[in-house]
Amino acid sequence: MEDFWAGALWALKIWLYLIISLIMIPAMFGFSLGISETYMSILVKTLEWATLKIQKAHIEEQTLKASSSNGLIQREDGSMEKELGELRRSRPKPPVGGDFTLSDCFYFTRKGIESIVEDEVTQRFSSEELVSWNLLTRTNNDFQYISLKLTLVYGLGIFVRYCILAPLRITLACIGLTWLVIGTSAVGFLPNWRIKSWLSEWVHVMCYRICARGLSAAIRYHNRENKPQKGGICVANHTSPIDIVILCNDGCYAMVGQVHGGLMGVVQRAMERSCPHVWFERAEMKDRHLVTKRLKDHVNDKKKLPILIFPEGTCINNTSVMMFKKGSFEIGTTIYPVAIKYDPKFGDAFWNSSKYSMVSYLLRMMTSWALVCNVWYLPAMHQQQGEDAVQFANRVKSAIAHQGGLVDLQWDGGLKRAKVKETFKEWEQKKYSNMVVGDDSNNSD
């Protein structure tokens, strides 16, 4: 029995030595030994081979999947006025007053059926289905037997992901979080000199890089000359809590959020000791004026880190950008937009919080192949003269969507858990009412 425990202890020491020398030290100083690149190269070739196997076995079926991947409904890109105008072409418009025809019912009936079959909002809160299988059954609902070779590769992949990658990634995540707490707590005891700020940023970035290596993250940063600067606010589209790790892997940010208890609370308090972050109590989050004041006080101090905010307020499934909350655009400071786009071929980064807990989601990510994404730093944007906060937020959102190749939606991400606001319904009703009644009715009084 003693020999068994001695052997287990020896294996554990070898395991930790390999992690520290091959992964942690390179991550701390921002260089790579080429292990991740080799792994990604083998992975890409394996997935390409699997795709060819599937395509050869199901050419016709694959064509159907590709044609339906853009959605079941082919919607016309036009306004209510334009589409109703097409229906009314055969009937001349009366010279006075409004206009109503029975054919208008067809427009609303079609819109209702489209929303029942496939609306453009709720599908943003579920994982996108891949056209080509990536050897993860959870990202392909139509998995079926193809060939013996493919099945053997799939079985080998399960062994690699759950028996090799998962323990390695869990170990790195634990080490990264532990070092973050210990390092930031130690830096917090230093006097407020310039070296404290430098050490704080170095500790934060180092720990986030270790956590990124724990997810086999392959990140490409574009236009680094546009990186957020101190005294500004960085806004980005939101797919996953891991977005924070992705961005902080390339720079340090001040976080904004609610005060938590437990392990998260320990991490928050340790981070607060080394550099200023903006944490709110649950009751304070509802006070918009207090939140705005705290954010303004932070950005007005040019020595403090740029604030990182996700204005959507919820996670969207890597296909679109939904409505930005206007709060962060009322501060009156420089906005630094950032677009994040994940490659779903290597794993689904979207966190469906209504379906998976945080722990379940992280375990799914640690048993995926890898985390591959592109990050684009966009030029700084300022509020224009005569532009209100909502218009400014929409302009920034459109720029992020365009750069990331995402769909720009006006809907509120809060619809993930709430019903459509009555104001949205009334707005659509008012538009149709103006078409039917006409402008002349307003002057008839």
pLDDT in tens, 184-242: 999 988 888 888 888 999 999 999 998 898 888 889 999 999 999 988 999 999 999 99
Q: Are 180 and 271 in contact (CB under 8 A)?
A: yes
Token digits of residue 202: 């170095």
Has this prediction a pTM greater than 0.85?
no
Please tell me the distance from the alpha carbon of residue 145 to that of residue 153, in angstroms, as a whole number. Answer: 12
Average pLDDT value for the chain:
80
Long-range contacts of 363-367 (CB under 8 A, 24+ apart): 363/166, 364/138, 365/215, 365/240, 365/242, 366/165, 366/166, 366/169, 366/170, 366/173, 366/214, 366/215, 367/161, 367/162, 367/165, 367/166
Token digits of residue 234: 């960085």
DSSP reduced 3-state for 411:
coil
Q: pLDDT at position 8, please? A: 82
Token digits of residue 248: 């902080």
Please tell me the distance from the alpha carbon of residue 350 to that of residue 346, in angstroms, as a whole number. Answer: 12
DSSP reduced 3-state for 377:
strand
Closest CA to 228 of 304, 158, 168: 304
Please tell me the distance from the alpha carbon of residue 196 to that of residue 203, in angstroms, as a whole number. Answer: 10
pLDDT tens string 84-135: 666 666 665 555 545 666 667 766 776 666 665 566 666 677 776 666 677 7
Indicate the DSSP class of residue 375: E
280 phi and psi angles, rounded to 5 deg: -120, 145
Q: Which residues of 75-100 are buried (b: 16+ CB within 10 A; e: fewer)?
A: eeeeeeeebbeeebeeeeeeeeeeee
283, HSE (Cβ side, Cα atoms, 13 Å): 0
Tell me what the mean pLDDT of segment 3-26 comes to: 81
Name the most confidently modeled range: 63-67, 171-175, 225-229, 289-293.
Answer: 225-229
Q: Are 375 and 221 in contact (CB under 8 A)?
A: yes
Q: Are 26 and 36 in contact (CB under 8 A)?
A: no
Sort residue 34 into left (φ over 0), alpha (ψ -120 to 50) or beta. left
From 59-63, 219-223, 393-397, the region with the lowest mean pLDDT: 59-63
What residue has token string 């006075």? 96
Tell me what the mean pLDDT of segment 349-357 comes to: 85
Position 73 confidence tier, pLDDT thresholds 50, 70, 90: low
CA dihedral 225, 316, 258, 347 (to 10 degrees): -80
Long-range contacts of 88-95 (CB under 8 A, 24+ apart): none
